[in-house]
Homo-oligomer: A and B are copies of this chain.
Amino acid sequence: MSTSAQSVLNDFRAFLKKIKAYEEAIGLMYWDLRTGAPKKSVEGRSETIGELSGEMFRMSVSERMGEYLNTLGEPETFAGLSEVDRKIVQVSRKEYDRSVKIPPEMYQAYVVLTSKAESVWEEAKHASDFPMFRPYLEQIVKTNLEFIDLWGYEGEKYNTLLDMYEPEMTVDALDRLFGRLRERLVPLVEAISETAQPDITFLDQTFAKEKQQSFGLFILEQMGFDFAAGRLDETVHPFATGLNLGDVRITTRYLERDVVSALFGIIHEGGHALYEQNISPDLAGTPLCTGTSMGIHESQSRFWENVIGRSRPFWSRYFVDLQRTFPGQFNGVAPENFYRAINRVEPSLIRIEADELTYNLHIMIRYELEKALFNGSLQVADLPAAWNEKYNEYLGVRPEQDSVGVLQDVHWSGGSFGYFPSYSLGNMYAAQFTHTMRRELPEMEADVAAGRLLPIKQWLCDKIYRYGKLRDPGELVREITGESLNPDYLVDYLEVKYKNIYRLS
């Protein structure tokens, strides 16, 4: 590479590092607001976040950024870049092209709209009053359609939204993936609903928060979470945030009447955190230093939460520790009883309380409704009826009010259309990765049953975590498993697991 190209590259990387610095500062301010900032800090802090976010956005769409990308994107120069630098240029170009197409005043108005919409949504949910939220949601959908026109699209307009969370994902692909899920999971859920339920009466107790916390910390440590590079706090809505490679923070919420809610939250966010803690240090300070997509990120949280945390070998090993943590509270309960109780399947109205199996049906419903909103076959005004109809069709339950129906999730008020599918994609990726892992780590189940979780973490580091955003989700899944995303692994896994639990043939 020429010395002048080398110098542009150095400047470009310094510029990206600066943008990352803003991102880190903003990330810490959000973490702080959610964990322990005093109430009255909010007004000043919001303005501060606004100032720094604005500055970060201006840098990301600046002429300077455009010039870097043009220079480094010239075929000859680009060909001379390292693999990492090529990917940095590609990822930055995609982000830049997307951002510069939106006129700043339009973007600004949208930020104000969604911020207002979120508080209206909260009120509307509380009052179970969809008409209150409807005009905001209509405006958000309308603005997103305008964005899509500016961004451009191939095939369905909704594809452009999907691509933001899962690069290259399309309606065609999702129809195929979800079709397969629906075809095999709906009958399984129906069969289970006609079968005797496992006993869960022993879960109906009070479990001291401090003990839940100490057990959660113990499990995090078993998973290989690095406490010198992260911490666990309490929030109303749990999350994971990677501030830098040496600082990945997770949160949970403790319910005294539920022994596993916070625990599975911790394992779930811990999975996200393992990903962010183990990205290769070469990628630090670059836009590649994060998970490659929401779907792959979710595959890691869901792998640890469900494939490991809700598995029989896991509880055959750790139930004794849980018993020790809560002396006397699980007398006479066998690990197998506990395993069956925490895997009880029950069609329900609320996504975030759903079991591992029906969860995918909740996502499918949202996917189908979003798709219909963006291809024009469904109007916002008709959403509640369509929602209730789908719940009845796939899950056999029907919300009696919108607060436990169409108004339950925050996502749409923030304009996050295209995000929901990530949850089920995560489940599919996780099942497919697990299939390969079982072949490459034949002792996997025995390891879990013996409390040896670190070989599993190491496998994931080697295959997924270290690459950050260097590999696209499609590449990653093909490289690791030898084929593209295939929903059968998830369905097979769920069928085997739940037919066993429910003793179905």
A residues contacting B by CB (< 8 A) are: 17-18, 20-22, 24-26, 28-29, 32, 36-45, 47-48, 51-52, 55, 226-231, 243-247, 284-285
Contacts and interface: CB of A to CB of B under 8 A. Distances in A.
Contacts of A230: 38
13 contacts: A21-B51, A21-B52, A24-B48, A28-B32, A37-B247, A38-B228, A39-B229, A39-B246, A40-B228, A41-B247, A43-B244, A44-B284, A45-B247
A244 B44 contact: yes
Contacts of A41: 229, 243-244, 246-247
Given A25-B52, A48-B25, A38 B285 contact: no
Contact of A48 (B37, B51, B244, B245): B244
A247 B226 CA distance: 30
A329 B223 CA distance: 45
Given A38-B247, A44-B245, A25 B17 contact: no
Nearest to A37: B247
* Copies, count: 2
A32 B25 CA distance: 11
B244 A36 contact: no
A80 B96 CA distance: 45
A233 to B, nearest CB: 9
Contacts of A45: 24, 243-244, 247
B285 A47 contact: yes
Contacts of A227: 38
A44 B29 CA distance: 16
B21 A229 contact: no
B17 A229 contact: no
A246 B40 contact: yes
Given A38-B230, A40-B247, A47-B285, 10 more contacts: A17-B51, A18-B51, A18-B55, A21-B47, A25-B29, A36-B231, A38-B227, A38-B229, A39-B228, A39-B246
Contacts of A52: 21-22, 25
A241 to B, nearest CB: 12
Contacts of A43: 244, 246
Contacts of A22: 51-52
A41 B249 CA distance: 11
A278 B239 CA distance: 34
A281 to B, nearest CB: 10
Contact of A44 (B26, B47, B243): B243
